[in-house]
């Protein structure tokens, strides 16, 4: 059975939980409190020298880090990851977009506001995240104005990747009122019968 080290309130970790729910994958979830140093222990660093969650551990002890690499690994051979080279590359394109142009703004702003309580000494950094976050949301909104999902006509790991932090973007100071296509897409994801919310206990 898979083991997952994570914090369900972290979008990067929640992605893994959400895909595992869609795929009915049994797993053990081990909660990690990063603010208490759970990812800085020698035991954890031996599994992921980069000191980050989520981390997937296989039955034989092999481990895999990086949320979007984990999603690809778990979804391989399922409908959530296209077989054909072109749509599969487009899934990766959106996943790299998420890690470079979306997460560092929206997730980091949310971390500063929600986890740290928006301390005064990080207010300037929080404010500096707004432009990049809005740009990422504009790119998504334009795509979703003409598409039901990010790649093809059905949900893939590209949608799971981008859902994770977008559906809580307001917690980072990004209200979604003006993003109509994003809100319709969020509702499509949330209404799937296999959906689980971020409030699930691990």
**Interface positions with a copy of itself (CB under 8 A):** 49-50, 52, 62, 64-70, 72-73, 76-77, 85-86, 88-90, 92-93, 95-97, 99-101, 103-104, 135, 139, 142-143
Q: How far is the CB of 201 from a copy of itself (least distance, A)?
A: 27
Identity of the residue, 1 or 193, whose beta carbon is nearer to a copy of itself in the bound complex: 1
Helices (H), 9-120: 11-22, 42-47, 67-75, 85-97, 103-110
User: Assign residue 10 a region: left if phi > 0, alpha if psi is -120 to 50, beta otherwise?
Assistant: beta
Identity of the residue, 62 or 117, whose beta carbon is nearer to a copy of itself in the bound complex: 62
Identity of the residue, 74 or 113, whose beta carbon is nearer to a copy of itself in the bound complex: 74
Q: What DSSP designation does 63 have?
A: E
Q: How far is the CB of 191 from a copy of itself (least distance, A)?
A: 27
**CB-based contacts of 150: which residues, under 8 Å, 6+ apart?**
90, 91, 94, 143, 144, 156, 158, 159, 162
Q: How far is the C-alpha of 150 from the C-alpha of 165, rounded, in Å?
A: 15
Q: How far is the CB of 190 from a copy of itself (least distance, A)?
A: 25
The answer to whether residues 76 and 82 touch, using CB atoms and an 8 Å cutoff, is no
Identity of the residue, 69 or 190, whose beta carbon is nearer to a copy of itself in the bound complex: 69
Identity of the residue, 93 or 195, whose beta carbon is nearer to a copy of itself in the bound complex: 93
Q: How far is the CB of 183 from a copy of itself (least distance, A)?
A: 19
Helix/strand/coil for 31: strand
């Amino acid at each position: 059975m898979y083991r997952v080290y994570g914090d369900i309130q972290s979008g990067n970790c929640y992605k893994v939980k959400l895909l595992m729910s869609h795929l009915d994958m049994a797993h053990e979830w081990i909660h990690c409190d990063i603010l208490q140093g759970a990812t800085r222990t020698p035991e954890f660093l031996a599994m992921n020298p980069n000191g980050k969650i989520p981390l997937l551990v296989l039955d034989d002890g092999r481990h895999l880090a990086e949320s979007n690499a984990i999603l690809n690994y778990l979804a391989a051979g399922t409908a959530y990851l296209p077989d054909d080279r072109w749509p599969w590359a487009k899934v990766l394109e959106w996943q790299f977009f998420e890690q470079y142009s979306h997460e560092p703004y929206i997730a980091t702003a949310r971390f500063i506001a929600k986890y740290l309580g928006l301390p005064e000494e990080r207010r300037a950094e929080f404010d500096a995240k707004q432009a990049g976050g809005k740009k990422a949301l504009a790119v998504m909104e334009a795509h979703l104005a003409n598409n039901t999902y990010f790649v093809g006509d059905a949900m893939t790991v590209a949608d799971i990747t981008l859902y994770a932090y977008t559906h809580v973007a307001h917690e980072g100071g990004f209200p979604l009122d003006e993003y109509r296509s994003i809100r319709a897409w969020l509702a499509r994801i949330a209404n799937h019968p296999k959906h689980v919310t971020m409030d699930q206990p691990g």
